[in-house]
Amino acid sequence: MAIEIIQAGGLTTVQDGGRWHAAHLGFPVSGCMDQAAAQLANHMVGNEPGCAVLEMSWSGLEFTAQQACSMALAGAEFICQLDGQEVSTDSVIQLRANSHFKMQRLLSGVRAYAAFAGGIDVPVLMGSKSTLLSASVGGFNGRPLRAGDVVELSQPHLVTNKGKPNWKKYHPPSFHVVRAMPGPEVHLFSQNTIKQAFSQSYELTAAADRQGFRLKSKPLDVTNIQVTASSGLVPGSLQVTPDGQAILAMRDAQTTGGYPRILVVHQQQLSLLAQVRPGEKIHFFVETRF
């Protein structure tokens, strides 16, 4: 059983809970940018939370199913069609053999997740099915899906309908706030710069992908900051570059980095960042007592 891709959208990759135990070999953790949404989609079709799903950015999929299978969508909201009829993504979508499914228009957010009951059948590379685009490995032949691809599903089946509660749907906030804590190099900055960094807003620029988000803000003062030796970098680290701007590491970020980190976002909150659009503003609520 497989699905045949008619249109793959802007960037559709296979992702899962992440690639663990390989950072010392230089492998980023990878996995779904919005883990919460992927877990919700998996939950709706009865999969394990870290099961492989399709991650779609900005534009959605169009495909035909070869056989019956339940599917759930979560994350960014799309208007979708099943066999030419509009279909709600608030509940499980029951695909039949030869069903034609199309995600038509993005309503909110950036990244959507499609989970199939049973999961996606791609090889496991170092413990994960996630695609690592920078290395062209993992997932579906190490690359984004494109028209004509045939994606195999593992043990596809139908599940009884499980709804998506309204509070779990993605509702775009009027401004984005994520919780964070002071970073390991925070002591290198002056008190004024720390105050500025923890209170100002940062605009997400167009240079925002799975590796990292370049942010734009009033520059942070980095004069007299001694370069630190590279050390292990976790997603959510706000790295200040010598021009005073900041780069937020995301799930495909390099495993080590040398720019000073003034704050690090709480890992559970990374999901919220996955839905921020370029031009929107991010605030960091830094919990200084932990």
Partner 1 sequence: MNALLLKQIIPNGDCALLLRFKASANRSRWIQTLATDFIEKPLKDLINVIPASDNLVLVFKQTVNHYLDWQTVIQQRIDQLQLSDVESTVHEILVCYEAQYAPDLNQVCEQVGLSREALIAAHTQPLYDAVMLGFLPGFTYLKGNDKRLCLPRKNTPAVRVSAGSVAVANDQTGLYALSSPGGWHVIGRSPTPLLNWHKTPANLIKPHDRVRFKSIDAAAFMRIAQSNNSGNCCGKSIGKNHGD
The residue ranges that bind partner 1 (CB under 8 A) are: 18, 20-29, 122-125, 132, 134-138, 140-142, 149-152, 181, 183-184, 207, 211-212, 227, 229-234, 236-237, 241-243, 245, 247, 254-259, 261, 264-267, 290
Q: How far apart are CA 134 and CA 63, in angstroms?
A: 26
Residue number, 141 or 201, with CB nearest to partner 1: 141
Burial class (CB in 10 A: 0-12, 13-18, 19+), 187: exposed
Task: Locate 237 and state its tokens.
Answer: 């680290």
Residue number, 96 or 146, with CB nearest to partner 1: 146
To the nearest whole angstrom, how small is the minimum distance from the Cβ of residue 140 to partner 1?
6
Task: Locate 10 and state its tokens.
Answer: 């802007």
Q: How far apart are CA 251 and CA 134, in angstroms?
A: 12
To the nearest whole angstrom, how small is the minimum distance from the Cβ of residue 27 to partner 1?
6
To the nearest whole angstrom, how small is the minimum distance from the Cβ of residue 141 to partner 1?
5
Residue number, 48 or 83, with CB nearest to partner 1: 48
Residue number, 134 or 217, with CB nearest to partner 1: 134
To the nearest whole angstrom, how small is the minimum distance from the Cβ of residue 92 to partner 1?
25
Residue number, 81 or 228, with CB nearest to partner 1: 228
To the nearest whole angstrom, how small is the minimum distance from the Cβ of residue 246 to partner 1?
12
